[in-house]
Structure 1
């Protein structure tokens, strides 16, 4: 049985040549797009989306390469760059009828959201990031033994072939490891949702690896260019983040301030999958963000 967000309509939307995204759409009012992380699908937003749909149009897609969305072969490094994936989301919003919208992302989806905010400031009105650092900072803070927590980042950064083969040898053990290790409340991801995540991930190993590989290559180049040029997020930005700094020795809020002019950074006590562990609190934080005046982009 295919799981869905109750009360949401499902659409298949073409966003690029040969690429369509599966998207759940519900509610009415000012739009917000919610982007999932790894190793999940749009279902991770099921509780938050239902809450926000009371007074917003809520759009929850599966990212390119994940869930029921198309998974193009990674012919070059740009196929799964965050720039390309961000362009998908801008095209999705436009196809559904919105030239501007708020954007919230968790994990991989947050990296896409950040790139969308940098590349398309005229489109993104407010931006929320759940439990990631901007890519350049992420690579810089991982070092020594503490970097073991990010072993998967280094594995999937390798050239095509070996990572895919290793993961395909025990996909449920690999993807299930993160669902278990990163969750403080095991009941937050019930058995049917967990099974759906594992099934979707098994079917998407090459594209998931390509997404991560891009984050160690072309995505870093794009972020470095923006850092060198002084490009920053101009819209209101809300960050919800675990206290990574305590373990890895950095000040997350300080790192974020270099990227966002209008920042609200909150250290939270929940596990990584916070939209599922603390949906009411996450929805409340997003509602607070949505009350802030939409960013007016500076011409670039």
Structure 2
């Protein structure tokens, strides 16, 4: 049996971040630390090209989020185990365990939501913040309406009470997760068959925790974000956002929505699919370097 793909030149370790929870993390390079958080339906491998590029100048840390990949997948009895607040605390604990009190942070998709919450909850730890192809949770639910919201059917499916979503997805996991890998990519060749197989294998083993992650975004995450909005909390650090131009289809101004959260915002619309770190890693690495220079 072929071994699972890895990021060449990176060392892998399991790091305890909470009671009963350890994260699988790939670490490489040297210099000021940069933490890269993956999205759905992927693992840390989505950063393989960008991580290798940045590792020439930085210590790069690529974990699997709790509930994903080779990281632990705790049960979620009260609906908080996969809140972005809990997952953000994991990332701060991971960085500290590796010797970094302060670090730059970039996230894609679900990882960007964790990065966003980390920046709000732990501003003393996050020096720079990048979010790729996502909206903050409150704004996401506000703009998803009408027939255009059909593109987000999975958000509504996984928001349902425990039981039915897990059963439906577990019945055909490769078809479900593969659907998004196909639909959201403008360059199918960017995700090689080996990496695609690794993503599907990882997701197949993580259906309950992935659903719990999404369910949290329709429940406890909304409560946390609304409380921050009401209190006037904002992201204090320099922020860069890269997004596709999907606002026109759903009728919103992504830059304006992000500006409300990030006074020091640089927003860029990019010409590639959702999996931009794999489809155009040179562009993503260059944008992250521009952010780190601010």
CA distance in 1, matches of 2:76, 2:67: 10
Shift of 1:244: 1.5
2:193 pairs with 1:191: yes
**What secondary structure does 1:64 align onto?**
coil
Which residues in structure 2 correspond to 1:35-184 (within 5 Å)?
A: 35-184=37-186
CA deviations over 1:241-276 (Å, ceiling 9, x no partner): 011211000100000000001000001111000000
Q: Aligned Cα RMSD in Å?
A: 0.4
**Uncovered stretches (5+) of structure 2, i.e. residues with no partner:** none
Return the TM-score normalized by structure 1: 0.97
**Structure 2 counterpart of 1:291:** 293
Aligned: 1:12 with 2:43: no
Q: CA deviation at 1:222?
A: 0.2
Matched residues in 2 for 1:165 and 1:83: separation? 27
Q: Tell me, which stretches of 5 or more residues in structure 1 are unaligned?
A: 293-300
Large movers: runs of 4+ above 3 Å: none
Structure 2 equivalent of residue 31 of structure 1: 33
Write out per-residue CA displacement over residues 84-112 of structure 1, whole angstroms, 9 at most, x where no aligned residue. Answer: 00000000000000000000000000000
Give the length in aligned residue pairs.
292
TM-score normalized by structure 2?
Answer: 0.99
Deviations, residues 184-227 of structure 1 (Å, cap 9, x unaligned): 00100010000000000000000000000000000000000000
Distance 2:254 2:124 in 1: 27
1:67 aligns to what SS in structure 2?
Answer: coil
SS of equivalent residue, structure 1 residue 129: strand
Q: Distance in 1 between matches of 2:183 and 2:32?
A: 36
Shift of 1:76: 1.2
SS at structure 2 position matched to 1:233: coil
Aligned to 1:234, the other structure's residue is in SS state coil
